């Protein structure tokens, strides 16, 4: 008999409280459960979305404890600005603690407590957008993608990094076993809430494929879309560009497991340096 989990994205408040419960353990859990591979994947996501805008404003949706944003700031060497948006107060609290440890100031980082399906920012107001391991938890992913399209400036890139299911049958088998047995056990060891980690496994199994994510991106207006499987598809980065502005062909990296750069030749990316006037108007719920 299967017991019904208390967490479901159909009732977002349960997801909010689940992340609230695991917020303090989240970073440790992430490192153990992904064997620290998430650091490499996060860096790849930041690289993908900032190639044609290395120093502007990055909006990170479902930002959690802020790793993507802080990685971007490090890469931008003091010239970037990041907006961390999440609907869970405790996760943002952890992100704020990290910002103090890193001695970041308000010019560099803003915290917005809001729903990723209703982003409280102006149209065309940010240079790049990311969402890492978050869209899977959002009730209507297509709403989130449409909102990303609205707030992104023309020429900017939106990148989704999500845990996905590999294609290779052998890897698929191992991956399934890992999700069903190892992950909940590890989850129990690193965090008090085992059901949260069971939810995590189910959500990976039940979420739409990278191909479907790319389709929705195109429906919402994104162009030059691209999928980049990581470690043979255990995770995938899907990117898209908002038409307009100056188009720069993204530089693709090599994925050892899939030779995913076969059709996209490595080429030197041009850096489009633009002065960005900070037009972001904080309309609601800005924590700091
Ligand atoms: C698995 S964590 C990912 C955190 C972070 N992006 C990272 O790279 O570790 C998912 C995050 O998405 C947030 N989240 C889920 N649904 C959301 C929504 N509809 N709006 C805003 N944040 C949401 C959760 O609160 C949680 O912090």
Query: Domain limits of the chain?
Result: 12-253
Over the chain, what is the mean pLDDT? 83
Write the pLDDT tens digit of every residue in 255-275. Answer: 444 334 333 332 222 222 222
- 116 CA from centroid of ligand 1 (Å): 9
- Residue 249 — pLDDT band, cuts 50, 70, 90? low
- Residue 98 pLDDT more than 70? yes
Nearest to 108 by CA among 63, 58, 62, 67: 58
**Mean pLDDT of the region 138-147:** 97
Buried-state track 224-257, b at ≥16 Cβ within 10 A, e below 16: ebbbbbbbbbbbbbbbbbbeebeebebbbeebee
pTM of the model: 0.85
Q: Is 63 in the pocket of ligand 1 (CB under 6 A)?
A: yes
137 lines ligand 1 (CB under 6 A): yes
Give yes or no for residue 115 CB within 6 A of ligand 1. Answer: yes
Mean pLDDT of 140-155: 97
CATH 3.90.800.10 fits 12-253, yes or no: no
Atom 16 of ligand 1: nearest residue by CA position: 138
Is the beta carbon of 91 within 6 A of some atom in ligand 1? yes
């Amino acid at each position: 008999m299967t017991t019904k989990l208390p967490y479901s994205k159909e009732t977002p408040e349960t997801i909010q409280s689940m992340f609230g419960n695991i917020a303090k353990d989240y970073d440790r859990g992430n490192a153990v459960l992904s064997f620290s591979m998430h650091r490499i994947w996060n860096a790849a996501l930041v690289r993908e979305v900032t190639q044609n805008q290395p120093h502007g404003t990055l909006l990170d949706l479902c930002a959690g404890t802020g790793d993507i944003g802080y990685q971007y700031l490090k890469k931008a060497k003091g010239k970037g600005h990041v907006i961390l948006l999440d609907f869970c107060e405790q996760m943002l609290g952890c992100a704020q603690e990290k910002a103090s440890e890193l001695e970041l100031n308000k010019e560099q980082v803003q915290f917005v407590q809001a729903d990723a399906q209703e982003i409280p920012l102006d149209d065309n107001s940010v240079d790049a957008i990311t969402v890492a391991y978050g869209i899977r938890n959002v009730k209507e992913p297509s709403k989130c993608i449409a909102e990303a399209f609205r707030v992104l400036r023309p020429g900017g890139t939106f990148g989704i990094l999500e845990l996905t299911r590999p294609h290779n049958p052998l890897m698929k088998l191992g991956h399934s076993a890992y999700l069903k047995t190892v992950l909940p056990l590890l989850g129990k060891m690193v965090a008090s809430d085992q059901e949260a980690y069971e939810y995590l496994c189910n959500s990976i199994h039940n979420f739409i494929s990278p191909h479907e994510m790319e389709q929705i991106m195109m429906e919402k207006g994104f162009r030059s879309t691209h999928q980049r499987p990581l470690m043979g598809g255990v995770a995938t980065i899907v990117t898209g560009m908002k038409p307009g502005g100056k188009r720069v062909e993204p530089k693709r990296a090599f994925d050892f497991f899939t030779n995913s750069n076969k059709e996209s030749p490595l080429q030197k990316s041009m850096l489009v340096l633009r002065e960005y006037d900070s037009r972001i108007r904080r309309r609601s719920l800005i924590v700091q």
